[in-house]
Amino acid sequence: MTALRLLPEFEAALCRVPGISQASVRTTPDALPIEVHVVARDEKPAKQVVRDVQSVAMAQFDLDIDHRIVSVVQIPDGAVDVGDDTAAQEAVASEPAEVPRPALTSISTTKSEGETVVDVTMAIGREIYTGRATGPSGPAHRPRVIATATLAALTELLGIPASVESAQVLEVGMREVAVTTLTLTIPRLGDQALCGSALVRGDEEDAVARSVLAAVNRRLAG
C-alpha cells in the first residue's frame, strides 16, 4: 500500500509546537497516520516531544496517535561544527523516502453518437491505474470529460471522494493554459479545494490531464 500525505494541516500544526522545526506525516488513503517524523531541538526529552505530537493530534484533529509510529530526531542548537555534517546526515536520514507521484502514460478519445469517451492510463511506480469518463462531444465540454477520466484513474490511489469542479483551457498572454479545480473530501477535515494548471504544448488533452496531476501531486506531497 502506498503511503500518502493527506494531512498537511497536521504537519503545519506540529511545526508550530515550540522546539519542532520539521514534520512529515504519512497516512493511509483514508487519512489515518501510519508514520510521523519530526525534527526537533534538544530542549526537551524525546518522550515529551512525542507526547506533544499526541496532544496536538487529539486536541486539534481528533486523531489518536500511537507513540510507536512517532520518530523524533533531535538536533542541538549550535552543535554542528564546521566540517561536521553528522547532525545534517541525521536530519536527512529522518526524512522518509519521497512518495512516488502518478505519471500520465496514455489518453485515448473516441466519439460515438454525439458523446466523447475518454480513457486515461496512469502509472505510479510499477502500478497501473485506468479511468474512463463520458460526456458531450462539444469542444467546450471536452476538458471536463478529460479531467474527470484522469481523476477516475486516481480514485483507487486517493481512496477518498473526489470530483471535478471545473476544467478549461484559457488564453494567458501569448500562451494557452489548462486549469482544473477539484474537490476532495478529506476525513475529519471536510471538503478541500485543489487547483492545478499546465501549459498547452501542442496537445490540449495532455495539458488538461497534467493539470489534474498538478493539483493532486501538490496534495500528496503536502
How high is the mean pLDDT of the chain?
81
Give the CA dihedral 16, 18, 19, 21, nearest 10 degrees.
10
**What does the alpha-carbon distance between residue 154 and residue 162 come to, in Å, rounded to a whole number?**
9
Listed residue (165, 167, 170) closest to 200, CA to CA:
170
Write out the CATH class of domain 8-94: alpha beta
Q: Per CATH, is 103-221 categorized as 3.40.50.1220?
A: no
How far apart, in whole angstroms, are the C-alpha atoms of residue 5 and residue 28?
8
Mean pLDDT of 198-218: 87
Mean pLDDT across the stretch 37-57?
88
Does the pLDDT value for residue 14 go beyond 80? yes
Mean pLDDT of 48-60: 90
CA-CA-CA-CA torsion sign (17, 19, 24, 30): negative
Q: Domain spans of the chain?
A: 8-94, 103-221
Give pLDDT, residue 199.
92
Type of residue found at 47 = K
What is the tens place of the pLDDT at every residue in 100-123?
Answer: 577 888 999 888 777 999 999 988
pLDDT greater than 80 at residue 67? yes
CA dist 125 and 35 (Å) reads: 20
Instruction: Answer whether residue 84 shows pLDDT above 60.
Output: no
Q: What is the pLDDT of residue 30?
A: 74
Q: How far is CA 51 from CA 17, 23, 68, in A?
A: 11, 15, 11
